[in-house]
Amino acid sequence: MKKTVGKIRLVFLGWSVAIFSLFLYSFTQIDLNLTLSRVSLWQRLEKAFMYLGYFQRPTSTTIFLIILGLLFTFYFLILQSAKRGKLEKRRLWQLIILTVLILFLAYPAFSHDIFNYIFDAKTVAFYRQNPYQVKPLDFPDDPMTRFMHWTHRPSVYPPLWIGLSTIPFILGFGKFLFQLIAFKAMMAGFYLGTIWLIFKISEVLLPRQKIFNVAFYAFNPLVIIESLVSAHNDGVMAFFALLAFFFILAKKPVYSLLSWLFSIGVKYVTAIFLPIFFLLAWQKIQAKKINWQRLVTLTAGLGAAGILIITYRIGFQPWYLLWVLPFLAIKKDNQLLTWGVVGLSLGSLLRYTPFLYLGNWDPPVPTIKLWLFWLPAGLSLAISLLERKVARS
């Protein structure tokens, strides 16, 4: 018993070190045209971090890879503890809350999308303009245009998302830093909401596996980087999609439909889940019992199809995996699924390393990204198949 408690404490400590290291590293990627605070002490620290990120790129990339190694190592150990029933519910939530408290304050190191969210809200709430008719460059005196990307086009986000975005913008009281923190806090809230839904759904479908299911999603390095650090709205979209599934399980079809429409209102891609509602309507007419695991598989499959479609059209981005990971977290555990998710998550995050090292996305970066993505995925599949073969022999 003492040995088990000691091991859990070691894992807790190791994970804490890993996420705090990620928190610190995020500030190496502050945009060169952005100053978060004019406090002199902060500016000295900020310049030191930025110097590492922009002018010591080999060292910066090495540190990033070490942090990724720590995150995936302790993610694996957390999953192992959960699978063996050694991770208590109390300890699980302590670790989740600690992760949120540290990382929601991290700089959005690997994406500029959050700045577009803020500017869309600013267009509505401050400039009183239609974000679908004007673009950021129409406001050349706005200081945000110095560090934003995608300044040359109007908003591409649905109205519901822009409406949601105005809440943290207003709560920022006109200060960019406060607006950024408010946005990050909102994203952290949806991250926690998704975890709660996974726990509640698992209590019904897979009660013996509920701790593992929550850990599977909550501590996945890709999830915490894309949901808490970079704060993509895909996590919000995924929350409403999973909420729709929760209401299906609770036999509240109207609420389920509304949640699904909210998900589309955050990002259009979840319109791809429409066949699920046709299937459920047909099963109700036929008075057939729902096979929940097949329904989860179908939902995850449709999400994966959405990723393939958008990848074919404009290319793959790591945060697209947020479209399917919440649903994979409520599937019955198997080695192939676990190793597959680990491999795809690691491969997706490794795609950032060529940019961190070179500072651009020019050739041969696309080829390097492709190899960095598929090698971990293939290796994880090989390990899973090898483990299965050993177990059968």
Average pLDDT over residues 255-271: 94
Average pLDDT over residues 126-141: 95
pLDDT at position 176: 94
pLDDT at position 40: 80
CB 86 within 8 A of CB 37: no
Average pLDDT over residues 273-294: 80
Range with top average pLDDT, 45-49, 187-191, 252-256: 187-191
- pLDDT more than 90, % of the chain: 73
Residue 214 pLDDT level (bands cut at 50, 70, 90)? very high
Residue 391 pLDDT level (bands cut at 50, 70, 90)? low
pLDDT at residue 281 above 90?
no
CB 305 within 8 A of CB 272: yes
Each domain of the chain, given as residue ranges in start order, spans 2-392
Residue 149 pLDDT level (bands cut at 50, 70, 90)? confident
CB 191 within 8 A of CB 229: no
Task: Pick the range with the lowest mean pLDDT from 22-26, 218-222, 340-344.
Answer: 340-344
pLDDT at position 293: 86
Q: What 3-state DSSP class applies to 362?
A: coil
Long-range CB contacts for residues 4-12, cutoff 8 Å, separation at least 24: 4/86, 7/81, 7/86, 8/81, 8/86, 8/87, 8/91, 11/74, 11/77, 11/78, 11/81, 12/91, 12/94, 12/95
- First and final C-alpha spacing in the chain: 32
Average pLDDT over residues 129-143: 95
pLDDT at position 387: 66
Average pLDDT along the chain: 91
Average pLDDT over residues 144-173: 94
Task: Pick the range with the lowest mean pLDDT from 213-222, 275-284, 307-316, 321-330.
Answer: 275-284
The tens digit of pLDDT for each residue in 37-90 reads 888 888 899 999 999 999 999 999 999 999 999 999 999 999 999 998 889 999
Burial, 260: exposed, middle or buried (Cβ in 10 Å; 0-12, 13-18, 19+)? Answer: buried
pLDDT at residue 2 above 60?
no
Separation between Cα atoms, residue 111 and residue 117, nearest integer Å: 12
How many degrees, rounded to 5, is the angle at CA 143 between CA 140 and CA 148? Answer: 85
CB 99 within 8 A of CB 224: yes
pLDDT at position 256: 92
pLDDT at position 333: 75
Looking up tokens 């198949």 gives 385
**Virtual torsion, Cα 339, 72, 200, 81, nearest 10 deg:** 90
Residue 3 pLDDT level (bands cut at 50, 70, 90)? low
Residue 390 pLDDT level (bands cut at 50, 70, 90)? low
Average pLDDT over residues 342-370: 92
Task: Pick the range with the lowest mean pLDDT from 148-162, 279-293, 353-367.
Answer: 279-293
pLDDT at position 134: 96
pLDDT at position 221: 98
Separation between Cα atoms, residue 264 and residue 81, nearest integer Å: 36
Instruction: Pick the closest to residue 71 from 348, 383, 360 (CA basis).
Output: 348
pLDDT at residue 1 above 60?
no
Which is higher by pLDDT, 355 or 6?
A: 355
Average pLDDT over residues 13-28: 97
Structure tokens at 159: 């109205």
Secondary-structure percent of the chain, ordered helix, strand, coil, rounded to 5 = 75, 0, 25
Neighbours of 156 (CB within 10 A): 12
Separation between Cα atoms, residue 338 and residue 76, nearest integer Å: 10
pLDDT at residue 393 above 70?
no
